[in-house]
Structure 1
Amino acid sequence: MKLVTAGEMRELDRRTIEEVGVPSLVLMENAGRGTYQVLRREFPELAGPVTVLAGRGNNGGDGLVVARYLAQDGHPVRVFLLARRDEVKGDAAVNLKIAENLGLEIWEILQEAHLAEALPRLARGALVVDALLGTGLNAPVGGLLARLIEEVNSLAIPVLAVDIPSGLNADTGEVMGVAVKAQVTVTYGCAKLGQILPPGRDYVGRLWRVDIGIPPRLTWEIKTELAEAGEMRGLLPPRPLASHKGTFGHLVVVAGSEGKTGAAAMAAEAGLRAGAGLVTAAVPATLNDLLEVKLTEPMTHPLPEAPEVRALGEAALAPLQEFLADKEAVALGPGLGTHEETRSLVHSLARDCPLPMVIDADGLNALAGRLDLLERAAGPRILTPHPGEMARLLTSTTREVQSQRLKMAREVAQTHKVWVVLKGAQTLVAAPDGRVSFNPTGNPILASGGTGDVLTGLIGGFLAQGLSPWDAARLGVYLHGLAADYLAEVLGPRGHLAGDLLAVFPEVLAEFQQGRFPPREEDVGLQLVWS
């Protein structure tokens, strides 16, 4: 599913109207009708009137279409118009006139006295439809509008937002002074970036997308997307009947140091859960016996250590390169440690190893200030930083990374010719060609030590099976989050460990492949983006 900025959506509307010939009034009708269909689906037993809050622009026009469909269905509805009637122009004015001709109750809210008179009626309603401000908002909300939004948020009745909750920046998710907190949002054509990025998602509620008639071919050049279950299901590597362990590749996990053997173990096990035929944990020699006991299915391979520490040293490079000669993929970094010789080893492997490689944790820490090494890497590289690791890579701050997640991830991917998995709420995957995919799965179960090591192993396992870096990263991130969602659904959101993701993964894969999880809610022209 494509994700767009407000400007990109305006251009899609323009091209649909001018190049394809679909009248703008038809687009508004489709938007309002689709919103009404979602409204009836989400709120099937409304016990009271619906209040439509309409602004003077096209967003208000969409709301007026919704009001008309409610009235024609026999449901009590009233419109609070935050403008004089003669200020409403274009297609919105056409729908205002239709509403008037049908005898809909329309109140003009132009000053505090009007608002004070309207609020008791608003509070007695069953539902508020927010059609005040659309995706073009670029300045803080103030005055009467801000007062009304604050009152709406204080009410104990649900809110359905038209296209985007009023007060949210459609490009950044920023709250422009104050914003409506909706239980349901119905967006048009494409989902908007500001509905995905924090804090926007917290204001959107359940997000539905309505097909208003934008031809899909017009969206082909848009490079930002939201991963969808159907496409991710299609990326699962096939499991032919006449196959063997060699069919599914051999992943080598270069990981572990004193106190961090769990990271190596979880990454190795995750590689097998992803479907790799063989996984070997390449670990410091003095920790090998411990991991031999801890790991059953993955193999281990002991390597020389740095002086006086239980961590890999420079002497490990030659035997490791020899060992990797006939393997398919590498996962580098979980629990590796930060010794000077370990960092040197990481530099050599990241630059010179010809195999596809996913780099995480201490592998990333070793590359802080040395991302230039990746520009001449012998094979494809996937980096999986959390915001703190990303900040170290760029000599920046976590706050700055979090405020510019999309921009920073895309710039690193394009500049250094790598794939970037920037973890966090709505983890995103950025590719060297400028594409970015946001991930819709996951929850706070993943805010726990070791879950990143599991993700590294999953991505590595998919690389070993021959998936491209773009597909391996997106599929690994999606299923990693889906496993957390499954745990939350079945057992609740608390008390889980990173290892629980591994334990439930076969069941998650089965439910996912059969289309039973996540549950699908779709109708003609309607699609639930997330709940």
Structure 2
Amino acid sequence: MKATTAAEMREIDRIAIHEYGIPGVVLMENAGRAVVRQLEVLAGQLQERRFCIFAGKGNNGGDGYVIARHLANQGAKVKVFLLGEKAAVSGDARINLDIIEKMNLDILEISSERDWDKARVAASFTDYIVDALLGTGVRGEVSGEMARLIDMINAAGKPVVAVDIPSGVDADAGRICGTAVAAACTITFGLPKPGLFLYPGAEYAGEITVTDIGIPAAVVAGQNIKQNIVMAENVRAVLPRRNPAAHKGTNGRTLVIAGSRGLSGAAAMAAEGALRAGAGLVTLAAPASLQDILATKLTEVMTKPLSEIDAGGISREAVADMIELAAGCDVLAIGPGIGRSEDTAAAVRETITAVECPLVLDADALYVLAGFTGLLTECAALPVLTPHPGEMARLTGHSIQLVNSDRINITRKAAGEWGSIVVLKGARTVVAFPDGEVYINPTGNAGMATGGTGDVLTGVIAGLIAQGMSSHDAAVAGVYIHGLAGNIAAQSGMVGLTATDLLKAVPAALYGINNY
């Protein structure tokens, strides 16, 4: 499902109005009616229900005036609060404000302290609050009386329905612009906005409903929208179908190069992740001293010893063996727990530029690429990188805070510069391709914030590639499956969930995607 930035949505509205001839007031009417339909779902019966509508001066406020009219027509008790003067309202919003004035609805301009007290009392005794203050029109930090009003709405403790997007949430990045309305649900128009799915905005959006307001499909199709929300049907369409006559050799061969002294678990989880994703044969190559440990940990995975340094990491002398092993496999995943010694770093950098098969690079393989990202353009196949925000910060030179505050743009830029598929992990993982296409993954939960879950993802993506999926499709499908497995595992409890729980849930996630 496509997701539009605020600027893209404004252009879509412009084309619909000025090139297709749909009056803006008609789109506003459709938007308001869509919200009322959702309020009927929430409230059951609208008659005698109490609603406080907080409206701004722009089109978001205009939607609010339409909502007020239809609620009143259905017998609801409606109070409309406008921050500022009615005289400042213009255009389509003014048309709808004039209508509800002629209907003698209760409309209050909030200007004096007495008005603030009335608004506060009304919000405390209402059944529902409708946020129609800013929508996607937020500019800079919310401050002054608007911030005061948003804080008052949140303090009322009533369920809030946000119109298009909670006021104060950046529609593109999910950033909180000083303060924001905490909604129970958001009804967004035409297409979803990325900020509804990216944290912290997602936490303020509540349950999201995307509703059609009559924009011609051709208008949307004619735009080069590069943001996407991953849906189960997208993943289902690209997952490999298991042939009834399949055997282990037809389901792909995965090579995992990982592990060092004290970090054998990361290697084991990445290898098992590939198996759980459906790979037919998985080989784990690790320092020779870990051979017995890994053979004990992993019953179904083949292990190969590699020459090592005294510190227990892979030696540069192992490069030839790693290249030879990769030649017999369909994909190479490298990095989990591999260590950061200079010898190992050199071995990783030499190997990834020499092998011919697709690559999945994670953890320490990313650490040793800091300052060497130019090597990624020398890889024979488009590599998949799976950094967490700290690793992304190191690779790009940005702070972790900046990475998290602008996940889409930073990931998109990195993918383009590095000629790679970049999977920025975290709450709402973002996948970016070199052509600028970006996917936001909606699955997953906070229980996955524990050691080893990223190693599982590396294995899952590699296992999907081994079965014949393109690296593009495997990256997008892999993060969705990984998050869904986390959601399944969390049904037994989110706190205390482990990466091993996640591994066990991957087959159930695959089954659910394919059958429901």
| Same fold (TM > 0.5) | yes
User: What corresponds to 1:481 in structure 2?
Assistant: 483
Deviations 1:272-327 (A, max 9, x none): 11111111111112211221121111111122223x23221122121222222231
Say if 1:2 and 1:219, in contact at 8 Å, map to a contact too.
no
Deviations 1:465-488 (A, max 9, x none): 111111111111111111111222
User: What corresponds to 2:396 in structure 1?
Assistant: 394
Deviations 1:175-207 (A, max 9, x none): 333221111111111222322333222221112
Residue 366 of structure 2, aligned match among 358, 361, 364: 364
Report the residue type matching 1:186 in the other structure.
Answer: I
Structure 1 residue 438: Cα displacement? 1.0
Structure 1 residue 212: Cα displacement? 1.4
User: What corresponds to 2:236 in structure 1?
Assistant: 233
Structure 1 residue 242: Cα displacement? 2.2
CA RMSD of aligned residues (A): 1.7
Say if 1:172 and 1:193, in contact at 8 Å, map to a contact too.
yes
User: What corresponds to 1:68 in structure 2?
Assistant: 69
User: What corresponds to 1:18 in structure 2?
Assistant: 18
User: What corresponds to 1:347 in structure 2?
Assistant: 349
How do 1:129-168 and structure 2 match up within 5 A? 129-168=130-169
Change (3 A) 1:134 1:296: same
Say if 1:257 and 1:312, in contact at 8 Å, map to a contact too.
yes
Report the residue type matching 2:249 in the other structure.
Answer: G
Deviations 1:326-345 (A, max 9, x none): 31101001111112221111
Report the residue type matching 1:389 in the other structure.
Answer: E
For 1:54 and 1:151, the matched residues in 2 are separated by: 14
Report the residue type matching 1:41 in the other structure.
Answer: V
Deviations 1:428-448 (A, max 9, x none): 001011111111111111110
Mean Cα deviation higher: 283-292 or 491-500: 283-292
Say if 1:112 and 1:144, in contact at 8 Å, map to a contact too.
no
Deviations 1:400-432 (A, max 9, x none): 322332222111110110000011111100101
Say if 2:314 and 2:344, in contact at 8 Å, map to a contact too.
yes
For 1:176 and 1:506, the matched residues in 2 are separated by: 40
How do 1:27-426 and structure 2 match up within 5 A? 27-44=27-44, 48-220=49-221, 221-306=224-309, 308-426=310-428
Structure 1 residue 117: Cα displacement? 2.6
Task: Structure 2: give runs of 5+ residues left out of the alignment.
Answer: none
Report the residue type matching 2:380 in the other structure.
Answer: A
User: What corresponds to 1:6 in structure 2?
Assistant: 6
Report the residue type matching 1:484 in the other structure.
Answer: G
* TM-score, normalised with respect to structure 1: 0.93
**Count of aligned residue pairs for this structure pair:** 513
Structure 1 residue 208: Cα displacement? 1.4
For 1:351 and 1:16, the matched residues in 2 are separated by: 49
User: What corresponds to 1:529 in structure 2?
Assistant: none
Structure 1 residue 45: Cα displacement? 5.7
For 1:278 and 1:42, the matched residues in 2 are separated by: 50
**SS of corresponding position for 2:136:** coil
User: What corresponds to 2:474 in structure 1?
Assistant: 472
**Percent sequence identity over aligned pairs:** 48
For 1:391 and 1:121, the matched residues in 2 are separated by: 47
User: What corresponds to 1:520 in structure 2?
Assistant: none
For 2:199 and 2:297, the matched residues in 1 are separated by: 39
Task: Structure 1: give runs of 5+ residues left out of the alignment.
Answer: 516-531
Say if 1:32 and 1:63, in contact at 8 Å, map to a contact too.
yes
For 2:167 and 2:402, the matched residues in 1 are separated by: 26
Structure 1 residue 357: Cα displacement? 0.7
Structure 1 residue 500: Cα displacement? 0.2
Mean Cα deviation higher: 501-510 or 264-273: 501-510
